[in-house]
Structure 1
Amino acid sequence: MSRIATRFAELRAANRAGLVTFVTAGDPTLELSLNIVCGLPAAGADVIEIGMPFTDPMADGPAIQAAGLRALAAGTTMVKTLALVRAFRAGDNATPIVLMGYLNPVLAYGPDRFAADAAEAGVDGLILVDLPPEEEDELAPALAKNGLSLVRLATPTTDAARLPTVVGGAQGFVYYVAVAGVTGTKSAAIGSIESAVTRIKAATDLPVAVGFGIRDAASAAAIARVADAAVVGSAIVDVIANQLDADDLPAQVHGFVAELARGVRGARQG
């Protein structure tokens, strides 16, 4: 099985949801970014999403936009993003890594070259927020050839007619975007999330991870009670932004992730 499938099978066996953490490659520097990523599994991250910096991140709010700009200013490129994954894999061959971002940098790199290099570096999957299923043909064959999962997004506006198209070719897991809008700006009611997860699970056997609007351990725990994983991005990126001058920046991030993990892991107890 893939690392993603293996990890979600482990979570099911443990009767708990997973914690998916997002950070941007190269934020605030490549060295600090690597230190942050390497410490995430020990802090409690079950799956790691790594953002590919891009100049026009249209689905992201101010926090992740700023992270991307910091990363680009630090000289982060796609080659260096993959090098970060490769360096992480030198010490961890179990934690799934999913690259998240936009289609443009992947096409600029070249779909076949990207898929081969990403797989060699140790990437397990890809989330491209601006790539609808109907437009996947240029990239999907290269990903499949190299064993990379293309994770698809469902949203509150994905209706019953659209849902089969979204989940039909999804791989790894389905990412449910809990709110309409950009990242880090608002939260959805847990009742609406639970009904959406139930609807998605009726259409696919893949795990469902829920993201957007999860700010703390309590909200992560609430999601963990109804979904297979809680995804936290902007709140972690905010810790980085607020601790840019701190000597212990990675430790601050890992401490916050540990709080989130305790919330997620305690969500189904009792």
Structure 2
Amino acid sequence: MAEHVRPGFFAAPPERPGLALFLNAGDPPLPVLPELIQMLDESEVDCLELAVPFPDSFTDGPVVRRSARRALADGVDLRRTLDAVAKVHAGLEHLRIALLADWSHTVKPCGLPDFLGLLGEVGTDALLVHGLPPRLRAEYYETAADRRVPVVTTCYPNSGEQTLRESARHASAYLYLVAHYGRTGSAPPGGHAELAPLIGALRAIAPVPIAVGFGVRGAREIAGVRAAGADAAIVGSAAVAVVERALADGTDIVGSLAGFVREIRSGHGGSGRAGAISSGSRKEGQG
């Protein structure tokens, strides 16, 4: 039997935009993660940006910072994150997992070659390094290519021409356009549709999909991202807030996120096979 080949990043049907969700590993608790990832896969969410939790992120707003603190307090680190991913990755049919790791807290203590080697063993689909010093970018890109680790690069609307071209040239998974210079949860003043000229310029030089994040909270913002010409929308703080509310209320985390995915996809062509899973069959997400 031929091996099943999953689609590339954001290989969404034309009637709906690609979708990525951001979460911190360990928030929800790691025992919940396999069921949650299965739900996202069956819902045909395209990508889970899964962060190895780290403290005091300078780019994150209060919702994501609280999430990271909860995960760190539970002892979640790189090894536990990779072990959790390894348990489910091989069985995924649609969802891809992009690991987000902080340079100072996670990558540097391992050493770049050894860190990338660990990712190769687990089989994560892409890597985004937070806080990478500019002087190390060339080494990072070269080593990641040698280890066959696809790279997510980032840029901002106010990035200089050289930065935009570098980000486009070295992205091998997707290019993350941060919609607004600020912290997670903030949006561009004129809405995401104002990014259309920049996305058009990046499209001409980037060989990979373009995903837009920051300030994407629901169906309206996702429609704006799509109208601007991007391939996908990245939902971060709003998804993390769903987890936070479920933890506080003692309700089903997986069911809450499944409902959130259906809600933000309203008007964009359904929600895959999620309807095959009844929320009543799920465990309470407090493991």
- State the TM-score, normalizing by the size of structure 1: 0.88
Q: For the Cα contact (< 8 Å) 1:25–1:76, is it kept in 2?
A: yes
Q: For the Cα contact (< 8 Å) 1:221–1:263, is it kept in 2?
A: no
SS in 2 for 1:162: helix
Q: For the Cα contact (< 8 Å) 1:163–1:200, is it kept in 2?
A: yes
Instruction: Write out per-residue CA displacement over residues 168-207 of structure 1, whole angstroms, 9 at most, x where no aligned residue.
Output: 2222111000011010133442332212211211222321
Instruction: Write out per-residue CA displacement over residues 32-91 of structure 1, whole angstroms, 9 at most, x where no aligned residue.
Output: 233323321223311111011001311111111111111111110100111121112143
Unaligned regions of 5+ residues in structure 2, if any?
271-287
SS in 1 for 2:49: strand
Residue in 2 aligned with 1:169? Answer: 170
Q: For the Cα contact (< 8 Å) 1:173–1:207, is it kept in 2?
A: yes
Q: For the Cα contact (< 8 Å) 1:25–1:50, is it kept in 2?
A: yes
Unaligned regions of 5+ residues in structure 1, if any?
none
Instruction: Write out per-residue CA displacement over residues 210-231 of structure 1, whole angstroms, 9 at most, x where no aligned residue.
Output: 0000111221122123210000
Per the TM alignment, residue 263 of structure 1 is displaced from its structure 2 partner at its CA by: 4.4
The separation in 1 between residues aligned to 2:52 and 2:65, in whole angstroms, is: 11
The separation in 2 between residues aligned to 1:232 and 1:156, in whole angstroms, is: 18
SS in 1 for 2:254: helix
Number of equivalent positions: 262
Residue in 1 aligned with 2:197? Answer: 195
- State the TM-score, normalizing by the size of structure 2: 0.83
* Bigger radius of gyration: 2
Residue in 2 aligned with 1:116? Answer: 117
1:257 and 1:233, CA in 2 relative to 1: closer, same or farther beyond 3 A? same
- Does residue 38 in structure 1 map to residue 42 in structure 2? no
- Does residue 239 in structure 1 map to residue 270 in structure 2? no
Alignment of 1:173-252 (within 5 A): 173-188=174-189, 189-225=191-227, 226-244=229-247, 245-252=249-256
Instruction: Write out per-residue CA displacement over residues 224-244 of structure 1, whole angstroms, 9 at most, x where no aligned residue.
Output: 232100000110000011110
Letter in 2 for 1:123: T
Per the TM alignment, residue 126 of structure 1 is displaced from its structure 2 partner at its CA by: 0.9
Per the TM alignment, residue 138 of structure 1 is displaced from its structure 2 partner at its CA by: 4.1
Moved more, 29-38 or 144-153: 29-38
Residue in 1 aligned with 2:18? Answer: 18
1:221 and 1:110, CA in 2 relative to 1: closer, same or farther beyond 3 A? same
The separation in 1 between residues aligned to 2:267 and 2:42, in whole angstroms, is: 15
Question: Percent of aligned pairs with the same residue?
Answer: 31
Moved more, 52-61 or 198-207: 198-207
Residue in 2 aligned with 1:255? Answer: 259
1:187 and 1:87, CA in 2 relative to 1: closer, same or farther beyond 3 A? farther
1:191 and 1:18, CA in 2 relative to 1: closer, same or farther beyond 3 A? closer
